[in-house]
Structure 1
Amino acid sequence: MSAGLARVQPVPDKSPVREVLSAAVEALGGKERSGQVEMAEAVARAMTEQQHLIVQAGTGTGKSLGYLVPSLLNHDRVVVATATLALQHQLVERDIPRLVEAVGDRLDTSYAVLKGRSNYACLHRIREGVPDDQGVLVDVPEGSMGAEVLALRGWAEMEAETGGTGERDNAPRHTERVWRQVSVNHRECLGAARCAFAQECFAERAKEKAASSHLIVTNHSLLAIDAIEGVPMIPDYDVVVIDEAHELVSRVTQAATDELTVGDVQRAAKRSQKHIADKGAASTAADDLADAADALADALAATSPGRIETAGEQLSDALVLVRDAARSLVSAFGKDEGDADAGRTQAKGLAQEVFATAERMAAFKESDVLWLNEARERIPARLAVAPLQVWAQMRERLLTEKTVVFASATLMLGGDFNAVAGSLGLKPSERVDTGAGEVSADDALPWRALDVGSPFDYSRQGILYVARHLPDPGRDGLGKAQIDEIVELIDAAQGRTLGLFSSRRAADAAAEAVRERLPHLTTLAQGDAQLPELAKQFVEDPHTNLFGTLTLWQGLDVPGDTCQLVLIDRIPFPRPDDPLMSARSRAADKAGGNGFMQVSATHAALLLAQGVGRLIRTTEDKGVVAILDPRLATKRYGGFLKASLPPMWSTTDPSVVRQALGRIAAAG
């Protein structure tokens, strides 16, 4: 554990949390916010009493300080996990340094960032090269890819010389394929004991810094691998704050999802061949795996895309062949040799990955969902397997072992915390701040929940418009009525519109129509350029529209006159053919619940709340959220969804909304 902290001199009638928070807010030029104070004290209490906490802190509350201050005051190490790189950057580059400067030397303010190994450049790979499909990567490929590799190599060497972190996020612009030429995953890594460059290794230095830090900032995926998958990635800790907690179930599911392609199997066989060629009978193991790849290719060609509820004999047999051949291949490598042979380590790592994934798929447990993603341009067909549920794993391996604070702007769904709590592994009967807690059982996990509200006056600042007069959305995308509505609303707003669409096709269709009918406005669509460039253009010209899909629903922060109209084309229910969501819904029905409400409506409520939250980002912002899906007003589940949104003034009258947009645009 990290070292203890210096005692803060108390101020009469002020707790240490209030005193440090007040000092930090004053030093940063801010004002005390009652919701932030309430949150900070609740987080401190949760840490002290070792009870879990779910806290909803609306946009503008300053929730980062609300958990960072009690984290620094906590006597033991605290891990902060985020879902997005944007928030991680905000914490590490802005919030934590400013807080550290504000509190001075009164506390242990040491902190570190920790990411998965593949997020750091590998100096061994850069300097020595390892075999890939084209041979040893010492001679750099020609063309643009070669130029990118050279740029990354030069950057990594400069990072090593100057004591940099070697993190991918700080690297020159590059593609995923190019980054793989200068990085390794944890299976491919030689290990500090055998690597000639271990003393300089960026990943090892990050681990060392984390081990001596009071606060560790990481991501949901690494937390899931460490706590839930049981692979030690983070130094010992007892408390974790999970920001953007509405994303946790999705990120844990992703971390526990495995994929297998024919190319994966072929690559493992090919790269292993030279390393076992001189081992007599064992040299046939690579050939056997190559043959198994052919059998898998035939089986996938005969399998329909989508969820696989019962694996046919051909697919089952192919997976068993791959599993057994990969196991034999791993055995053929024998024990690790003392020399630092990166090619051998990588080849064995690939074989181990193929074996582990094929073994899981061949077992086909009821607790897993198996499906086939069909091939698309340059993307091969992929078998995927994911856990049906993750709440039990989170309860057993995270909540039972650690004290957890879940924080987000959107955690109350349908007006309460029960849906989110259940998905995280907490039972409503264990909640101790409602008087209904049944927490006497040995395996009970007491928890509290808190909504600290928001400093925004949503009923004055925003209008929620539901286009009740439009037809229900169909499978064929946007119809004429929806296009006409979009054009009329944007015309009234004079641009200033963020369009959040359920599909790329819908976003492109809307963009094309608006460009044609409102040519005096600039209309951008996701894919026209990189997202940072699009966001910059959107902010610089108020008469600009930006249309896109999921990335914009959650990852865009554009306060001020830039965004005065948020358009949402339809309620973001999961696709009916989504294999994992449909399996979870069916399981809920089978257990006596309501699969639609527990899975589809909950999923939609979270995304809808995130999308609506793009509009009001400061106390001065004003505008309209227009939802072009009448089901929000006409269906019974509409009440649940609306109760999950900020309390804006609501209307279904299009003329009222157009007039309001005109007034807001004129005032801006």
Structure 2
Amino acid sequence: MSAAAGAALFDDDAALNAALPGYAARAGQAEMAHAVAKAMDEGGRLVVEAGTGTGKTLAYLLPAMASGRKVIVSTATRYLQSQLDEKDVPLAQTVLGRKLHVTVLKGRANYLCLHRLNLTEASGDLYLASKLRAVRDWAARTKTGDLGDFGDLGDGDALWPRITSTTDNCLGQECPLFDQCWVVNARREAQAADLVIVNHYLLFADLTLRESGFGEVLPGADAIVLDEAHRLPDIAGRFFGQALSARQLKDLVRDGLGELDALGGDMPVLKARLQDVGAAERGFSDALGSAAGSRSWQELATPQLSQAHAALDEALNALKVGLEPVVSRSDRVKALSRRCAELVTVLETVGKEDVERISWLEKRGAAWIWHSTPLDVAGPFSRAIKGYPGAWIFTSATLAVKNELSYFCDRLGLVDVEQKVLASPFDYENNAMLYAPRAMPLPNTPDFDDAVIAETLALLTAAGGGAFLLCTSYRAVARYGEALHAAGLDVLTQGSAPRATLLADFRADDNAVLVATSSFWEGVDVRGHALRLVIIDRLPFASPADPVLAARFNAMKEAGQNPFMDYQLPQAVITLKQGVGRLIRDAADRGLLAICDPRLFTARYGGAIRASLPPMPITRERAVACEFLDALTPA
């Protein structure tokens, strides 16, 4: 077969009807599939917004899997990787009538490191003993080493970083257990596969490695498909910068002390220098203060913090000098010396600012990360993707602003790309309604929260539940959740349980109410009557208090641009479209969208936002909205 043959399956859809009972042909899906096939055949670049319900996943999978080419599909999260692997790819193989070699490749921190498991067991940490035994038993059974299959460790579990490797602490081919390395095994599998499913973080890790000339993680490919591509610009900022964290320094000290003890404890001066680094890290953390949040280095650079920075620099350099003469003692000391040298370099880098990057820190409890972030990722990204010849396909349900893709393309430096905006096939005009309360106070005024709560309670009474209340801050989640609970409602609140548990509980109850922010604005699929009401408290404008955004806005002003119109507004539109997309997930779905922010109509830019939303009738009257909701209740 060929990519074009895969796309042709949407024209003569007998195979799709056989694999998907009830399949309905969608013009947008066929158009996207042919555009994907063309890009793959010609090695071109394609950016396509495929509205909710277009069926974009099959529209790129069938041409990709029929092409006979090596294809990488990158998506936003590990959850979506699993969904592709377990649901979408098997369906595509059924439609094609043949199986391909498909594998999922994750970042190294997802795989058990047997060497670090040995080190952690040898540390004698009684607090971790029972979990270590469970991991050791699982290690004897696993075929992949993917800790996602272990099932007993969350991302915040203290054991996770102790039994996985990072680019800092991995010994590479010098590791005594290299032949049993699950990361190496996963990469070998990816080298042999026809289709490799990765996530954006792993893809960017590889792009930045290639740009710096240090190597590559991902196998070469003829085509790369980036799903949920709206997330790319923000992720790019993280990977094209530099960062130094408290965790890196603490790991360096802990690993170093453990290695010196294993070698007989005959290097007391070196041990003292490691302890000096630990003390300097704690001093730096103390100098940052106890307040959580993100602030620029210029804002934070008090004399006390500058002294702490100098002490940390001095301690790291002393350790670097002390390690150099003893690297022959063991491969692990050699690796420790390399890590220390790299951290010295990063510490020198993160404190520097120029017109192209900002130095800033984030603090959470005792943890801190010092970043140097580029203000514009268009240049680094466009240079980096030149290392991957072949087709590049960018797709998401939310890329366009007023049916144009220029904002997305400009942020990533994409030129000479084919662009398509494909509308959702769902009947929003008959199945949905937008309610914008007429008398709402402005956000950030004292009465706004109470007004949102009043509107929410009225709408919930009419709907009987089945609602998401999507907020733009954790403060609002807590405030609204408490108010709804005080009103006698049984509310699911983000943070009260793991995300997957909250979603399962919501789906199990047709009348549930979920109050959430951030991660629930996207990647959540609840179909049918269980979700018939989505309430959004305010337009999701990025805060200019964010140090990176503040610096970016200053740079834009100096370049004669308008930060609000050229950045904040388009980004808010894309984020809002993600939240709106939670409501209608199937052709038979019906529901009400309520946006409580009065600026949707009162601000001069409100029309641009409304023009970017799916076409649906609008009401400003609560009675009309409640009547619509009441009619959704099954007889």
**Above 0.5 in TM-score?**
yes
Matches within 5 A, 1:205-284: 205-230=185-210, 231-256=215-240, 258-261=242-245, 264-265=248-249, 268-269=252-253, 271-272=255-256
Note the alpha carbon deviations across 1:474-501, whole angstroms, 9 max, x for none.
1668532221111111111111111101
Residues 597, 150 of structure 1: alpha-carbon distance in 2 compared, 3 angstrom cutoff: farther
Matched, 1:58 2:51: yes
Matched, 1:322 2:312: yes
Confirm or deny: 8 A CA contact 1:140 1:149 kept in the other structure: no
Residues 287, 52 of structure 1: alpha-carbon distance in 2 compared, 3 angstrom cutoff: same
> How far, CA to CA, are the matches of 1:406 and 1:477 in structure 2?
42
In the TM superposition, what is the alpha-carbon distance from 1:611 to its structure 2 partner? 0.3
Alignment correspondent of 1:457: 427
Residues 396, 468 of structure 1: alpha-carbon distance in 2 compared, 3 angstrom cutoff: farther
Matches within 5 A, 1:148-187: 148-159=131-142, 164-175=143-154, 176=156, 177-187=158-168
Aligned mate of 1:366, from 342, 355, 359: 355
SS at 1:556 equivalent: coil
Matched, 1:398 2:398: no
Confirm or deny: 8 A CA contact 1:413 1:605 kept in the other structure: yes
The size of the alignment, in residue pairs, is 619
Confirm or deny: 8 A CA contact 2:45 2:418 kept in the other structure: yes
> How far, CA to CA, are the matches of 1:648 and 1:157 in structure 2?
56
Residues 324, 73 of structure 1: alpha-carbon distance in 2 compared, 3 angstrom cutoff: farther
Confirm or deny: 8 A CA contact 1:573 1:601 kept in the other structure: yes
> How far, CA to CA, are the matches of 2:631 and 2:558 in structure 1?
52
SS at 2:151 equivalent: coil
Alignment correspondent of 1:84: 77
> How far, CA to CA, are the matches of 1:447 and 1:526 in structure 2?
39
SS at 1:555 equivalent: coil
Alignment correspondent of 2:399: 411
Amino acid in the other structure paired with 1:268: L
Q: Calculate the aligned-residue CA RMSD, in Å.
A: 3.0
Alignment correspondent of 1:133: none
In the TM superposition, what is the alpha-carbon distance from 1:190 to its structure 2 partner? 2.2
Confirm or deny: 8 A CA contact 1:283 1:332 kept in the other structure: no
Alignment correspondent of 1:580: 548
Confirm or deny: 8 A CA contact 1:496 1:545 kept in the other structure: yes
Aligned mate of 1:333, from 319, 323, 326: 323
Matched, 1:659 2:627: yes
SS at 2:126 equivalent: coil
Residues 548, 78 of structure 1: alpha-carbon distance in 2 compared, 3 angstrom cutoff: same
Note the alpha carbon deviations across 1:384-416, whole angstroms, 9 max, x for none.
332212111111111574431100001111331
Percent of residue pairs bearing the same amino acid type: 32
Matched, 1:200 2:190: no
Aligned mate of 1:97, from 90, 94, 105: 90
Residues 346, 485 of structure 1: alpha-carbon distance in 2 compared, 3 angstrom cutoff: farther
Which moves more between the two structures, 503-512 or 472-481? Answer: 472-481
Confirm or deny: 8 A CA contact 1:477 1:506 kept in the other structure: no
Which moves more between the two structures, 543-552 or 303-312? Answer: 303-312
Residues 663, 294 of structure 1: alpha-carbon distance in 2 compared, 3 angstrom cutoff: closer
> How far, CA to CA, are the matches of 1:325 and 1:351 in structure 2?
11
In the TM superposition, what is the alpha-carbon distance from 1:328 to its structure 2 partner? 5.0
Residues 633, 665 of structure 1: alpha-carbon distance in 2 compared, 3 angstrom cutoff: same
In the TM superposition, what is the alpha-carbon distance from 1:211 to its structure 2 partner? 0.6
> How far, CA to CA, are the matches of 2:202 and 2:54 in structure 1?
27
Matched, 1:351 2:351: no
In the TM superposition, what is the alpha-carbon distance from 1:87 to its structure 2 partner? 1.7
In the TM superposition, what is the alpha-carbon distance from 1:269 to its structure 2 partner? 4.3
> How far, CA to CA, are the matches of 1:225 and 1:361 in structure 2?
18
Confirm or deny: 8 A CA contact 2:361 2:370 kept in the other structure: yes
> What is the TM-score normalised by the length of structure 2?
0.89
Confirm or deny: 8 A CA contact 2:463 2:630 kept in the other structure: yes
SS at 1:150 equivalent: helix
> What is the TM-score normalised by the length of structure 1?
0.85
Alignment correspondent of 2:515: 547
> How far, CA to CA, are the matches of 2:10 and 2:592 in structure 1?
38
Residues 605, 340 of structure 1: alpha-carbon distance in 2 compared, 3 angstrom cutoff: farther
SS at 1:187 equivalent: coil
> How far, CA to CA, are the matches of 1:526 and 1:73 in structure 2?
41
> How far, CA to CA, are the matches of 1:81 and 1:397 in structure 2?
16
Where do 5+ consecutive residues of structure 1 fail to align?
1-6, 131-135, 427-444
Confirm or deny: 8 A CA contact 2:51 2:423 kept in the other structure: yes
> How far, CA to CA, are the matches of 2:139 and 2:318 in structure 1?
37
SS at 2:179 equivalent: coil
In the TM superposition, what is the alpha-carbon distance from 1:250 to its structure 2 partner? 1.5
In the TM superposition, what is the alpha-carbon distance from 1:647 to its structure 2 partner? 1.6
Which moves more between the two structures, 621-630 or 587-596? Answer: 587-596
Note the alpha carbon deviations across 1:520-549, whole angstroms, 9 max, x for none.
x53211122222222112111112111111
Where do 5+ consecutive residues of structure 2 fail to align?
none
In the TM superposition, what is the alpha-carbon distance from 1:104 to its structure 2 partner? 3.3
Alignment correspondent of 1:25: 16
